[in-house]
Each structure stands twice: as C-alpha cells, then as structure tokens.
Structure 1
C-alpha cells in the first residue's frame, strides 16, 4: 500500500508518522500524481508545531506539503490539460508528503526534461513566494534590496529573481554560504552584531527595501536601514505587526503559475539555478524537517517519495 507522512497532534517531528495511505481518487477536474519529489519548506514544520493554527485550520490527523513534482497517473472527468504519463510540477491539493497526491490542473505545468525532479519539486512554494514578495515590495531595476537568509529556500530564488530584474542585492548569510551568494549575484554580509555597519559598507548609497526570510530578530535593523517599515516585508517574523512591518504567508497565490513559468525560463537561460542541499526518502521526513529547522543550509531540502 502507498505511504504518507501524517500527524495526529501538534508537536516536534517526533509526532510525525509514516502510515499506510490508500491512493486518493481523482475526482472531476482533478489529476492524481505519483509523487517523485516534494520540497521541505519552513512552513511545514511551523504547521506541524502548531504555530500557524490561527491562520491554517486543519482537521487532525493531517499531512504536510504542497510543492509537488511527479507523473500523472489518473485523470478525472473533464480534464483535458494533462494525460496519464505526463510529467508535471506545481502545487498539490492534498498533502504531498505522500506517494500519491491530487492536484488541480490549473496549478500545474509540464516539467521540462532538463529540470531534475528535485528542482521541479521545489519551485512552487519558495519560488512563488520570492516572486510575489518582490512585487509586494515594489523594488525595481537600479534599486538595492537587502535579503535576510539569502541562502535559504526563498532567499536563493529572491536573489536571482531580483538580479534578473536589474536590482543590486545584498544578502545576509553565515560565512559558509558567502561563496554561494556571490555565485548567484548577491553581495554577502554576515549576521550578528555590527550588521548595520556591514550593510552600509556594502551599500553606501543606502538600502531601498528589505526582505526578511530569517525571522531571527532582524526587523529593527531592517527598518533602520530602509528608513522606515514601509518597504520592509517579512515571511518569517511573527512579531511583524509590533514593528509596523508587513507579514506575508500566502506564497505566490494566484501568481504562482506565472512565477513558475518565469523561473523555468530563467533556468533555461542559465540565469537561475537552485542548489539542493540534501534529499531524503519519504520515510525520513522527520529528519528532513529537523534539518530544515536548523537553518543555514545553503539550498533546498527535498523528499523523494518514489
């Protein structure tokens, strides 16, 4: 029988179980995907721990994951966009930490043959989020953008999308990830005391906007550097409202497919690459979540269910 990762109570990764899960059946307007790859995102362990209960309501037991890449193996009535055997990527309608998941064809695109499965399974959530927040910040060509946790899952997308749009990017990261940031077009600076001075040295003309993908207390210095909270946005700091800063949790929303197509075009042109830190089998989903929570990984974590 197929398997899936599920939890019946909120908590650490210890509450996650690998269970037998009958493959869901594609209803009208749906496709079923035999899952090949699914990205592990910070929102997943935050959901597991119950940190997002007020924003994301779940009936327990529940599963995790919405990024997905795999092969269509069942097509519901009325679906004409895809056929059995098509290789796809995008967002799933049912939890994707599983060997099978359902999806709305409108939330999928065809996987280009040159895009590896682990990359294909990592584009929708982090890529869609990065694409969306750049638009929300209103940054344009010639402006300077500071990104906290620039070597993380959303950060590596945001850096490269911003560079492709003609922005100057400064990225905070641990020393071990500085070379990665340079290789994708960012000017790296180190976290910690003296951060504001290091950013000013890297950007003497000032910072126009800040994206906080870290959530580790960077909002005050971000507001200082941006000259106010108006052009600071966080996807990770739950105390954003206390600082007058916008908090974004919605991923790419209705723009996700557009974001994926833009990202795929940049990959094809050699202008965007997605480093993969490590892959895990689905049976080691708990370990993958633990690794994600440590941060400073310099690339995506991906589950390979089959």
Structure 2
C-alpha cells in the first residue's frame, strides 16, 4: 500500500510516500480502504523537531500503546470503506462506509482499526467531509461543553477560522448563542458565512470586543493560545465559562477531543447530513502531494479543513 511516512522528525520535508506491506484485520479488528484523510494541527506537531513536538511525543508516550516509533505513518483522521472484518467483530460489515481516527495510520491506502475507532458514515455525508470530523468536531464539542452555550450568551471564539473553529462557531450558533470570532481580516467574510461576527485578533482585542458587544460577553473558548482567554478574563467573564485547547491558565479548563461525550461524532455527522452544519474544505491534495498539504496546514492560512485523498 501507499503510505505517507516520516523516518525522522522535522517539517513537511521529512514526509515521503512509500510502499508498505498491506496490513490485514486480525481478531477484533477491521480493515478500512481509506479514501480520504483529514489533517489537523496535532499531526504535524507530533513530527515537529522542536520543543512543542517533543512535549507532545512525551505526553503520547505516557499512554500505554501510544509511544511513537520511527518510521511512522502520518495522520489521524480518515474515511473510507470496510473491506475486511476480523473474527469477533459485530456491528460492521464489508462494504460499510465509515470514518474515524487512526493515530499514525491514517494517510495510507489501508488502516487497521478496532471498532471503537470508527463510526458509520451517514447518507448525505461524503468521505472528504467525513474525514475531517474525528479530532476537530470532538475538540470543538468538548470546548463548548465546558461553557454550555445558550440563547442568552454572547461567546468570544479565539481562532474561529481554524479547523476546530469552524465547528465551534457553528455548534455555538446552533445552540442559539451570538458568536464573535477572532481571525485575520482576510478571513472576515468567511467567518460571516459561518454565522460569526469577526474581530481582528492581536493588540487591542479587548477594546474591539467591547465595541462589538457593549453589554459584554458571557463566555469564551480559546482555540489557538491564551490571548482570547486573557481578554475574556479582562472583560469579566468567570473562569468557569472559559475553555481552552492549546494553553493553560489558572482556573480555566483545558480540553482535548477525548473529553467529548459519547455520541458526539454521530450527532455532528447527522447535522451535516441534514444540511444544518457545513464543513468548509480549504483544499484537497492527492497523497503524492502530502508535503504541499502539510505545508498549508502548518501555515494556518487555510480557511477550513485540508484533506488528503487516496
């Protein structure tokens, strides 16, 4: 099979498309013929040759079975069709369309997974869209669960135009909240299409938010660093109504995708199938252009999700 592989740590330039032996489903396993793999910030951060990358790999190594060894297949999120079912597996059959997450197995023609790692893809959701859901949708849902948005809320979302932000903005709007989203000015029109009121991040953010919301904001989620969370505190938002995914501040809850409640992905996929939620696709690349795909992901300039096709 083809697979995007890194034999050393570094930037996108360390990724190569290699031919690897086809894996097969053993007892309790499924094999998925992967058609699309969605990219996330964590994918390239795991292979980065810097302090952040090392800290992530150390955190991963602290969980049994998750230690990263080289060479490694790149990526996590995927979608495709089951083509092998191992003994003892119930609820899945050859030919089922599925999506999910396969850590260090996704950007390859085949991924061997266990049933807990996959979900049935509903009619009305294509594989490119389904391949974007596992990390971003669960992370957005977990971040919003902390602040419990509702119709009386005005929420500040930091990093609103990013891969997690596109889910957080729409899920908060579906819950009835008013959403103000931080972004660069070039993403303002894009954020408006998602239902957010855009605001420029950076110095003076507090004053710009006050101008947009004179009566104040009631909650915030910071999907990039700590700027949005700090501004929310300055504007009087209680720490209990602020969440973060990529930073830490005293009294504020930091979450990850694994904190999402069971059924989150099924719920989000159903919203997409009904046309209630949209996943903007910034770009698609064939596996042979994996370096170009990851370069765009690393730049953080893609408006929406980036997907590799196989």
Identify whether the pair has TM-score above 0.5, normalized to the shorter chain. Answer: yes
1:96 and 1:160, CA in 2 relative to 1: closer, same or farther beyond 3 A? same
Deviations 1:183-231 (CA, angstroms, capped at 9, x unpaired): 2211111122321111112222212222111227444323323535443
C-alpha distance in 1, partners of 2:258/2:235? Answer: 26
Deviation at 1:81, TM superposition (A): 1.1
Counterpart for residue 91 of structure 2: 81
Gaps of at least 5 residues in structure 2 are 62-67
Deviations 1:96-128 (CA, angstroms, capped at 9, x unpaired): 011110122233222223212210101111011
Listed as ranges, the matches of 1:72-111 within 5 Å are 72-92=82-102, 95-111=105-121
C-alpha distance in 2, partners of 1:65/1:183? Answer: 29
Determine which of 192, 203, 207 is the counterpart of 1:193.
203
C-alpha distance in 1, partners of 2:192/2:215? Answer: 20
C-alpha distance in 1, partners of 2:243/2:268? Answer: 21
Counterpart for residue 153 of structure 2: 143
C-alpha distance in 2, partners of 1:216/1:137? Answer: 16
Give the TM-score of the pair, scaled to structure 2.
Answer: 0.89
Q: CA RMSD in A?
A: 2.0
Counterpart for residue 271 of structure 2: 266
2:306 is the alignment partner of 1:280? no
1:226 and 1:120, CA in 2 relative to 1: closer, same or farther beyond 3 A? farther
Counterpart for residue 122 of structure 2: 112
C-alpha distance in 1, partners of 2:239/2:186? Answer: 30
Counterpart for residue 160 of structure 1: 170
1:219 and 1:167, CA in 2 relative to 1: closer, same or farther beyond 3 A? closer
Listed as ranges, the matches of 1:50-61 within 5 Å are 50-51=53-54, 52-57=56-61, 58-61=68-71
Counterpart for residue 303 of structure 2: 298
C-alpha distance in 2, partners of 1:46/1:216? Answer: 18
Counterpart for residue 224 of structure 2: 214
Gaps of at least 5 residues in structure 1 are none
Determine which of 73, 81, 85 is the counterpart of 1:63.
73
C-alpha distance in 2, partners of 1:68/1:214? Answer: 23
Contact kept, 8 Å, 1:93 with 1:102, in 2: the verdict is: no
Deviations 1:5-40 (CA, angstroms, capped at 9, x unpaired): 122222112222222111212121111001011110
Contact kept, 8 Å, 2:149 with 2:176, in 1: the verdict is: no
Number of aligned residues: 299
